[in-house]
């Protein structure tokens, strides 16, 4: 009976170890590799949303380190900025019509390419009679599903490990063959 319990405990430990080793590429300790660089590809449209803006200068600035990158649009209104450090960036556009600030931030991840479409839309704000300009951005990032993101996060990994431990404990308790104290059994 004791050897059977030892064998079951060994099997459960091996299963837990196997699960953790399968998840090891997603553990934070494994992600301390040297950071790679990301890319940004974008297209800039005029206020009408269909006319491309040629010769516009797209500038991005890391909000943490203040490191800046820039790229100029070609005849198709497309710009490309390569070799960007991972981080959160503010975006500005300089055209012949003036300077435009994008209200949204863009997140750049290592070894990923972020695709954006920018439409330059001026608007008037009635504070002290000054006119301000903004642009809207639509971000399309080829990212994994939200469920996969959750289960690869530290909280998701903790839930998986805790669930595995609970299931293992339940299996051990179910397989234990303790004698029941019952007045009907002899």
Question: What are the pLDDT digits (tens) for 73-129?
Answer: 999 999 999 999 998 999 999 998 888 888 888 889 988 999 998 888 765 554 444
Residue from 99, 102, 62, 100 nearest 83 by CA? 62
pLDDT at site 186: 53
Stretch 7-12: mean pLDDT, rounded?
Answer: 75
Give residue limits of the domains in the chain.
Answer: 2-30+147-173, 34-142
Q: What contacts 139, CB < 8 A, 6 or more positions away?
A: 104, 106, 114, 115, 116
Give the whole-angstrom CA distance, residue 129 versus residue 174: 75
Q: How many CB atoms lie within 10 A of CB 103?
A: 10
Q: Where are the beta strands (DSSP E) in 5-155?
A: 37-45, 57-62, 68-72, 78-85, 87-95, 98-108, 113-124, 131-141
Question: What are the pLDDT digits (tens) for 41-52?
Answer: 999 998 888 899
Quick one: tokens of 173?
Answer: 């308790």
Give the whole-angstrom CA distance, residue 90 versus residue 107: 9
Question: What are the pLDDT digits (tens) for 59-70?
Answer: 999 988 999 999
Lowest mean pLDDT: which of 98-107, 126-135, 160-169?
126-135
pLDDT at site 133: 46
Residue from 184, 182, 172, 186 nearest 8 by CA? 172
The CATH homologous superfamily for domain 34-142 is Carboxypeptidase-like, regulatory domain (2.60.40.1120)
């Amino acid at each position: 009976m004791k050897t059977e319990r030892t064998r079951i405990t060994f099997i459960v430990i091996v299963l837990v170890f196997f699960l953790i080793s399968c998840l090891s590429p997603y553990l934070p300790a494994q992600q301390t590799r040297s950071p790679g660089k990301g890319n940004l590809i974008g297209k800039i449209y005029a206020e009408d949303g269909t006319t491309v803006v040629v010769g516009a200068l797209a500038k991005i600035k890391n909000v943490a380190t203040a490191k800046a990158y820039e790229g100029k649009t070609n005849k198709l209104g497309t710009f490309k900025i390569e070799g960007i450090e991972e981080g959160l960036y503010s975006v500005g556009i300089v055209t012949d019509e003036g300077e435009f600030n994008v209200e949204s931030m863009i997140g750049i991840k290592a070894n990923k390419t972020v695709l954006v479409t920018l439409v330059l839309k001026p608007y008037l704000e009635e504070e002290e009679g000054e006119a301000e300009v903004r642009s809207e951005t639509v971000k399309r990032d080829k990212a994994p599903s939200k469920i996969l993101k959750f289960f690869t996060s530290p909280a998701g990994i903790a839930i998986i490990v805790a669930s595995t431990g609970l299931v293992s404990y339940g299996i051990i308790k179910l397989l234990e063959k303790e004698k029941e104290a019952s007045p009907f059994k002899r």
